[in-house]
Structure 1
């Protein structure tokens, strides 16, 4: 009941963004099973770009990131950082925010200092993470140790140039 009460107390704009984030987080999760990441992203970004002129309001980028993060925490199931950042990027595009969708890779050897099993092969590999930046600040997906990830070219680098 506390979650419902909390939802009812937020502004109508935050409710809209939370409901949109919930719908997109679920859609992205299923889309990743059915189509490639590139196809999912192209459709999602294209759709939000077309809807942008009719969506009212202009929340700050941090508020959009909050909506995605809070919604993700309260939805059942789990989603990856890539699913969260893709959802966030799409909603930011809806409000014409100039954000950077970043993916970084941490090449790791056979053993990690924290004892966790690395992604990739059982005997080593890499770990990847996806996050959203706005004006040089991480607004979604900050792990506290992002410096260990070697950034790849931003996903939307060529689109915003």
Structure 2
């Protein structure tokens, strides 16, 4: 707990704002995905990300996967890969970086789905050790 507090104190104001924004977005995605359709959730996240700080101030795109992973790790609530992908994609978009959300299923007999975000052909959010097990079904293109 002390180590976490020290890490938080060492972050810049912008990084703390981005952590707060990401927390709000992840919690919102979790609530909305249980109640409404994917496209409605995406639209709500799009509106929300545009009014919450840090107002499109991420200069290094590598910061976005970091902040999604840190927020996911430190909030004691389960966030699915789809929730993380939606939030990450919206954070990338509001900061001017083009990405795509991919949806896939496992190739083996057991049903398992996965969502991930790609930027320039590389997975930036949702990388798994056994990622080759998943066959992409579709690229989610927001309305």
Fold-level match, TM-score > 0.5?
Answer: yes
1:29 maps to what in 2? 30
Q: Distance in 2 between matches of 1:42 and 1:73?
A: 25
Q: Distance in 1 between matches of 2:35 and 2:45?
A: 14
Of 123, 128, 132, the residue aligned with 1:147 is 132
Report the structure number with the largest CA radius of gyration: 1
Within a 5 Å distance, the mapping from 1:102-117 to structure 2 comes to: 102-109=102-109
Task: Decide whether the 8 Å contact of 1:68 with 1:88 is kept in 2.
Answer: yes
1:38 maps to what in 2? 39
Structure 2 alignment gaps of length 5 or more: none
Alpha-carbon RMSD across the aligned residues, in angstroms, is 2.1
2:97 maps to what in 1? 97
Deviations 1:27-46 (CA, angstroms, capped at 9, x unpaired)? 11111122112211122224
Deviations 1:56-87 (CA, angstroms, capped at 9, x unpaired)? 52322221110011111000121111111111
Task: Decide whether the 8 Å contact of 1:24 with 1:87 is kept in 2.
Answer: yes
Task: Decide whether the 8 Å contact of 1:51 with 1:94 is kept in 2.
Answer: no
Task: Decide whether the 8 Å contact of 1:61 with 1:134 is kept in 2.
Answer: no
Q: Distance in 2 between matches of 1:13 and 1:60?
A: 12
- Decide whether aligned partners of structure 1 residues 56 and 79 sit closer, same or farther in structure 2, where only a CA change above 3 A counts: closer
Within a 5 Å distance, the mapping from 1:57-96 to structure 2 comes to: 57-96=57-96
- Decide whether aligned partners of structure 1 residues 56 and 36 sit closer, same or farther in structure 2, where only a CA change above 3 A counts: closer
Q: Distance in 2 between matches of 1:129 and 1:58?
A: 26
Q: TM-score, normalised by structure 2?
A: 0.87
Structure 1 alignment gaps of length 5 or more: 110-117, 119-125
